[in-house]
Amino acid sequence: MNKPELLVTPTSVDDIIPLAEAGADAFLVGEQKFGLRLAGEFTREDVKKAIDLAHSKGKKVYVAMNALFHNEKIELLGDYLKFLQEVKADGVTFGDPAVLMAAKEHTPDIKLHWSTETTGTNWYTCNYWGRKGAKRAVLAREINMDAIVEMKENAEVEIEVQVHGMMNMFQSKRPLLGHYFEYQGKALEVENRRQEQNMFLHDKERENKYPIFEDENGTHIMSPNDICIIDELTELVEAGIDSFKIDGILKSPEYILEVTKLYRKAIDLAVEDADQYDEEKDSLLAAAEAIQPPNRPLDTGFFFKETVY
Q: What is the 3-state secondary structure (H, E, C) of the chain?
A: CCCCEEEECCCCHHHHHHHHHHCCCEEEECCCCCCCCCCCCCCHHHHHHHHHHHHHCCCEEEEEECCCCCHHHHHHHHHHHHHHHHCCCCEEEECCHHHHHHHHHHCCCCCEEECCCCCCCCHHHHHHHHHHCCCEEECCCCCCHHHHHHHHHHCCCEEEEEEEECCEEEEECCCHHHHHHHHCCCCCCCCCCCHHHCEEEEECCCCEEEEEEEECCEEEEECCCEEECCCCCHHHHHHCCCEEEECCCCCCHHHHHHHHHHHHHHHHHHHHCHHHHHHHHHHHHHHHHHCCCCCCCEECCCCCCCCCC
- In the predicted structure, residue 175 carries a pLDDT above the cut 50: yes
Rounded to two decimals, what is the model's pTM?
Answer: 0.89
- In the predicted structure, residue 95 carries a pLDDT above the cut 60: yes
Percent of the chain scored above 70 by pLDDT? 86
How many folded domains does the chain comprise?
2
In a domain, 33, yes or no: yes
In a domain, 306, yes or no: no
Whether residue 176 sits in one domain with residue 162: no
Choose one of 221, 254, 287: the last residue of a domain.
Answer: 221
Q: Mean of the pLDDT values across residues 239-259? A: 96
Residue 176 belongs to domain spanning: 171-221
Question: Which residue did the predictor score with more confidence, 183 or 59?
Answer: 59
Whether residue 131 sits in one domain with residue 17: yes
Whether residue 62 sits in one domain with residue 21: yes
Average pLDDT, the chain: 89
- In the predicted structure, residue 2 carries a pLDDT above the cut 80: yes
pLDDT of residue 176: 58
Whether residue 189 sits in one domain with residue 55: no
In a domain, 81, yes or no: yes
Whether residue 42 sits in one domain with residue 184: no
Q: Mean of the pLDDT values across residues 113-138? A: 94
